[in-house]
Amino acid sequence: MWVLMLPALVPVALFSVGPLLYGIGLAFTDARNARDHETSFVGLENLVQLLADDDFWSSFRIGMIWGVSVTVLQFLAALGLALLLNQDLRLRNVARVLAVVPWAMPPVVIGLMWKLVYHPDAGILNGLLGTDVNWLADFSLALPAIIVVGVWTGMPQTTVVLLAGLQGIPRELYEAGEVDGACRWRRFWSITLPQLRPVIVAITSLDFVWNVNQFGLVYVLTQGGPGGRTRLPMLFAYEEAFRYRYAGYASMLGLAMAVVVLAVLGLCLWRQMRETAR
Amino acid sequence: MRMKSALAAAAVIALAAGCGSGGSGGGQAEPGEPVKLTFLSLAWQKESLAANKQLVEEWNKANAGIQVTYVQGSWDNVNDQLVTQFAGGTAPDVIHNDSPALSGFAADGYLLDLSGRLPADLKADIPRPAWDTVTFGDGKGGQGVYGVPFLQESQVVIANRKLLDASGVRLPTPDNPWTWDEFAEAARKMTKDGVFGVAWPMKSPVNKTLNLALNFGGTFFRTAGGRTTVKVGPEEKQVLQRIHDQLYKDRSADPAALGQGTADPLPAFYKGEFAMLPAGVYLRQQVAEQAPDGFEWVTLPPLKGTTTQQGAVSQTLSIARDSKHPDEAMKFIAFFLNGPNQARLAKGDWLLPTSVKAASDPAITTKENGWDVATASAKDLVVAPFLRVNGFDEWKSKVATPVLQEFYSNKISIDEAARRLVADGDKVLERYQR
């Protein structure tokens, strides 16, 4: 039996599990990207250093602000859009296709496109508002500016998943609600939301993981600037590994982020399972 | 079935092995076959690109035995790219970079020490101070030469001719340059009717500030007993305070330019919204090409503090330590950077050549486009003190860039800026001195 699974397992082990274990191993060494460097095992030294690193904590805070606000805003906007697209509108199918378009774009292209939107001299945004703001270089505006882009980027898949969820809700429930005299709001609150709940939990936790691990988009937009105000944890790890060449330290950072994300996810899923079990 | 999966496993292993050995430069050349070299170039200005490619072509035509492939890189991400390529063993043989990046790569053992390999005439053609910008520790207590320096940049002032003449200030010459006081005075005189005297684009403030700080002897780093620490004393504060005064006390500097990159204020400069733009000599290229007809501009020599000295970094060509053909690579570099060729490269990039022979080339000593002033400023260049500081790059991006940006936008005082440059800076440098 295991022989039959081998062709599928070998690539997984070779290209996924292997590098993962290697990365975890690196986190406990003083590995550097240097030719003459002798790597040695240092135990938890990287972790100790990480916990005392102010730059890490500010990056972590930015990462959490980014992850939570993008996920929440994305969810609210996507829910609205999904409810709209679930109505019996004219040209509904065209609208559904249009809503998915951003999904087809690679993050780097989205980044370049929004960079043009935010451009201080030639940007559409300054043109529309008649302002003269350098959005991506302003210390207090840069983070909100990229959050908007993050929400825009992630909306399509959230919308599609929520829409699928909406269509799975049996019509009879709404009919029964109407018969009982429930108003629109009441029907939404007591039928739609509870029925969507598993879908919402699943897509929101997935979105959170994706957003916290976002890299390409922000790298293109700001490279973590100005003055580190948009330096998400993954950008921080990238800089540590490929700019300052502390590969071991960067691996520990990646590992710590993975643990945090897994903890958040675990909490959500555990609560969900407990609810369904009851 | 067992057979098939064994085959599949073997195929995967073969594939992985193939990936691992597909290393640099194509391996050892067969006898009679030409040696193949790759050359990573970072040229980006149009004329400079043309000059680079043409030189490679000329070399390939003249040397059938050593064929060079031109590979295009970009200043934006060259160091990230090199870290990965070095680690993966796929680095190019000949590498174009600048001296601040070399010290790290040299200490990590990725670059070849050229000191025993330099041809005598190349070595003699480039003066000592330029070689100082590429001489670094090898990470094991020794010193080596890790590149051939060929283009340098000095900070000059590009000025609007009409506004300059109208103000009636004395015109500075290379022999009798403006002091910073005269410069401030001139900027004040030119500030009227909505026109500003000067613009300081400070999106990337660190190198500009540090190079100019040497005018007053400001070095920003101090090494004692093998430990390097950050130092911000009265000498370092001079240039910081003078630029800040122009922005917020004299109000002779255009506030709109402050957050911009070096070339961004040019459209406003052509419109006459401000009179003077302190910038690297290379910026003359864009002014010469883009300025509207009838726009007259001049290049003013570097300013004088207690001296006219400025910190210099160089563009460099290096050889990867893992290159299989270092001797051939050295021959190519010696050709690429000989006097006449350096003059072509300098002209293409509008920078200053290190070669003494190239510096006397009529093409870069003409009055046209301020070449005479630019080339004369080469005498003021001394090795930038921060070049030898291990960890400078991290200090620059994590500490100095945000602090200087906040200081120039008047969010923090000069004492607070100095405190953070030193306290946060020493913490960063600590990491490199364990």
Q: For B268, which residue in chain A has the nearest alpha carbon?
A: A121
User: What's the gap between Cα A49 and its chain centre?
Assistant: 27
Q: Are B63 and B117 in contact (CB under 8 A)?
A: no
Q: pLDDT by residue (tens digit) across A226-250?
A: 878 899 999 999 999 988 889 999 9
Give me the pLDDT at residue B304, please.
95
For residue B280, how far is the Cα from the chain centroid? Answer: 10
Over residues B341-380, the pLDDT tens digits come to 999 999 999 999 999 899 888 888 888 899 999 999 988 8
How far apart CA B54 and CA B322 sit, in angstroms, is 27
Tell me the percentage of chain B whose pLDDT exceeds 90. 66
Record: fold of A54-277:
MetI-like fold (1.10.3720)
CB contact under 8 A, B86 and A33: yes
Could you give the C-alpha distances from A163 to A156, B30, B42, in angstroms and in order? Answer: 10, 64, 49
Q: Please tell me the least confidently modeled range out of A66-80, A120-134, A180-194, B19-33.
A: B19-33
Q: Residue B149 forms beta bridges with which residues? A: B316
Across-strand partners of B223?
Answer: B228
Q: Does B60 touch chain A (CB under 8 A)?
A: no
CB atoms within 10 A of CB B261: 12
* Mean pLDDT in residue range B305-320: 92
Count of beta carbons in the 10 Å neighbourhood of residue B109: 18
**What kind and span of H or E run contains B228?**
strand B227-230
Query: Using the beta-carbon criterion (under 8 Å), do A227 and B401 form an inter-chain contact?
Result: yes
pLDDT of residue B19: 43
Residue A39 has pLDDT above 90, yes or no: no
For chain B, the structural domain boundaries read 25-152+313-359, 155-312+386-433
User: Does A96 have pLDDT greater than 60?
Assistant: yes
Q: Can you identify the CATH homologous superfamily of domain B155-312+386-433?
A: Periplasmic binding protein-like II (3.40.190.10)
- The Cα A276–Cα A198 span in angstroms is 9
CATH architecture of B25-152+313-359: 3-Layer(aba) Sandwich (3.40)
B201 touches chain A (CB under 8 A): no
Distance from the B93 Cα atom to the nearest Cα atom in chain A, whole angstroms: 16
Cβ atoms of residues B298 and B161 within 8 Å? yes
| Backbone φ, ψ for residue B159 (5° rounding) | -130, 150
SS (H, E, C) A81-101: HHHHHHCCCCCHHHHHHHHHH
pLDDT, tens digit, for every residue of B401-417?
989 999 999 999 999 99
Residue B333 has pLDDT above 50, yes or no: yes
- B426 near A CB under 8 A: no
**CB contact set of B223 (below 8 Å; sequence gap of 6+):** B229, B388
Report in angstroms the alpha-carbon separations of B289 from B46, B160, B198: 11, 15, 21
Residues B206-231 as b or e (16 or more Cβ within 10 Å = b): bbbbbbbbbbbebbbbeeeeeebebb
Residue A8, min C-alpha distance to chain B (Å)? 10
- Contact between chains at A134 and B256 (C-beta distance less than 8 A): no
Question: Which is it for the CA torsion B349, B350, B355, B361, positive or negative?
Answer: positive
Mean pLDDT over A242-260 rounds to 91
Q: pLDDT value at position B30?
A: 59
Token representation of residue B217: 């002897």
Residues 6+ apart with CB under 8 A from B224: none
Q: What is the pLDDT of residue B28?
A: 52
Q: How far apart are the first and last CA of chain B?
A: 56
Residues 6+ apart with CB under 8 A from B49: B43, B348
Q: What is the pLDDT of residue B211?
A: 92
B150 closest CA partner among B258, B28, B41, B246: B41
Mean pLDDT score across all residues of chain A: 88
User: What would the mean pLDDT of B332-336 be, rounded to a whole number?
Assistant: 95
* Subunit contact B86:A35, Cβ cutoff 8 A: yes
Average pLDDT over chain B, rounded to an integer: 89
The strand pairing partners of B152, in sequence order, are B314, B352
pLDDT value for A225: 75
Q: Is the pLDDT of residue B21 over 80?
A: no
Residue B192 has pLDDT above 80, yes or no: yes
Beta-carbon contacts of residue B309 (< 8 Å; ≥ 6 apart) = B214, B215, B380, B381, B382
Tell me, what's the pLDDT at B14? 45
- Does residue B20 surpass a pLDDT of 90? no
Q: Which residue has the higher pLDDT, B231 or B13?
A: B231
pLDDT band at A122, cuts 50/70/90?
confident
**Tens digit of each residue's pLDDT (9 = 90 or more) over B84-111:** 999 888 999 999 999 988 988 988 889 9
- Which stretches does DSSP call E strand in B94-220? 94-98, 135-137, 143-145, 148-152, 155-160, 196-198
Contact (Cβ atoms closer than 8 angstroms) between residue B174 and residue B377: yes
Q: Are B38 and B92 in contact (CB under 8 A)?
A: yes
Q: What is the pairing mode between strands B135-137 and B148-152?
A: unpaired
pLDDT computed for residue B1 by the predictor: 40
Please say if the pLDDT value at position B208 is more than 60.
yes
The per-residue pLDDT for range B130-146, each reduced to its tens digit, is: 999 999 887 777 889 99
How far CA B220 is from CA of A250, B207, B382, B421, in Å, comes to: 29, 11, 15, 9
Residue pair A150/A70 in contact (Cβ under 8 Å)? The answer is: yes
B162 falls in which pLDDT band (50, 70, 90)? very high
Helix (H, G, I), strand (E, B) or coil at B318: strand
Can you name the residues that pair with B314 across neighbouring β-strands?
B152
pLDDT for res A278 = 65
pLDDT digits 0-9 by tens, B37-54: 999 999 988 889 999 999
Judging contacts by C-beta atoms under 8 Å, the chain B residues touching residue A242 are 80, 83-84
Q: Which of residues 11-50 of A touch B (CB under 8 A)?
A: 11, 14, 32-37
B423 CB within 8 Å of a chain A CB: no
Structure tokens at A79: 């829910």
B77 contact A CB<8A: no
Closest CA to A240 of B5, B83, B41: B83
- The residue among A215, A250, A236, A216 whose CA lies nearest residue A33 is A250
Helix (H/G/I), strand (E/B), else coil: A178: helix
Is B5 at the interface with chain A, CB within 8 A? yes
Contacts of B398 in chain A (CB under 8 A): 55, 228
Residue in A7, A225, A245 closest to B5 by CB? A7
Q: How far is CA B335 from CA B66, B70, B118, B170, in A?
A: 12, 15, 12, 44
Structural domain spans, chain A: 54-277
For range B52-57, the mean pLDDT: 96
Q: What is the mean pLDDT of residues A152-179?
A: 91
Q: CA–CA separation, B75 vs B79, rounded Å?
A: 8
Are B25-152+313-359 and B155-312+386-433 in the same CATH fold?
yes
CB contact under 8 A, B83 and A243: yes
B119 by DSSP, 3-state: which? coil
Determine the average pLDDT of the residues in A103-117: 89
Q: Would you state the pLDDT for residue B295?
A: 94
- Reported residue count of chain B is 434
Give the ipTM. 0.77
Is the separation of the CB atoms in B155 and B215 below 8 Å? Answer: no
3-state secondary structure of B165: helix
Return the pLDDT at B18. 42
Contact B8 A10 (CB under 8 A): yes
